[in-house]
Amino acid sequence: MPQDSPAATDLLDVVALFLEHEIIPSTEGGVRFRARVAANTLRIVAREIQRGERHLRDEVNILTELLGQAQCPAATLEDLSNQALALNRELCERIRAGNADADPIRTRVVHAMRKLVESKLAIANPAYLETDRNLRTGNR
């Protein structure tokens, strides 16, 4: 039986709004700063609930392809998470062994990493990602 309404992300949203509209304007100094961090943290959790699984699937797909491994479908979220960990370990070992020092492999690795890091930032800090994109499309 599913939980009753509202959804978890909506609950997080209302607490973040409470912090942003009531606590932050009425406090100062360290408490105000921490209230801002707290609101931001709730926003991260909400985005992770919405996009976390999708991120993990993308990560497994991108790394499997990069490493030239066979796809094996994951049954549960935990399987997926374990696959991502194993793939990252494998890639790290190859980089440490010097296998990604030269092109064209290095460029492929950098390209894949950019996709994955951007996908992490879409959850952790989308505003930062946006600024970074603007800077790079301008002149950096």
Partner 1 sequence: MSLEPEKKIAVLESFIAKQGAYADVRLENFARMSGGVSHEMWSFDATLGGTAGRNSRKLVLRLDPTHEQTYTGRWGEFMVMRAAYREGIPVPEVLWLCEDSALLGGPFFIMEFVNGETIARRLLRDECYVQARERVAEQMAEILARIHRIDVRRHGLEFLPAPAHSAAREEVFRYQEIYRQFSADDPHPVLELAIRWLLEHHPRSEMRGVVHGDYRLGNVVYGPEGVRAILDFEGAHVGDPMEDVGWIMLRPWRYGEEHKPVAGLASREAFYAAYERASGIPVDPETVRFWEIFGNFRWAVITMRDGRAYSQWRPPSIELASIGRRTAESELELLNLIG
Residues in touch with partner 1 (CB under 8 A): 29-30, 33-34, 37-38, 40-41, 44, 85, 88-89, 91-92, 95-96, 98, 100-101, 109-110, 113-114, 117-118, 120-121, 124-125, 128-129, 131-132, 135-136, 140
Q: Round to whole Å and give the CA distance between 47 and 129.
A: 14
Q: Compute the least distance from the CB of residue 23 to partner 1, in Å.
A: 13
Measured from the CB atom, the residue of 14 and 85 that comes closer to partner 1 is 85
The two most distant CA atoms of the chain are separated, in Å, by 56
Minimum distance from residue 65 beta carbon to partner 1 (Å): 14
Measured from the CB atom, the residue of 6 and 50 that comes closer to partner 1 is 50
In the complex, least distance from residue 76 CB atom to partner 1, rounded to whole angstroms: 20
Angle between helices 8-18 and 29-67 (to 10 degrees): 150
Least Cα distance to 59 among 93, 41, 82 occurs for 82
Q: Choose between 22 and 118: whose C-beta lies nearer to partner 1.
A: 118
CB of 2 to partner 1, least distance (A): 29
Looking at the Cβ atoms of 9 and 40, the one nearer to partner 1 is 40
Q: What is the DSSP string of 30-89?
A: HHHHHHHHHHHHHHHHHHHHHHHHHHHHHHHHHHHHHHTPPP---SSHHHHHHHHHHHHH
Q: Residue 84: name the closest of 49, 116, 56, 111 by CA.
A: 56
Least Å distance, CB 3 to partner 1, is: 25
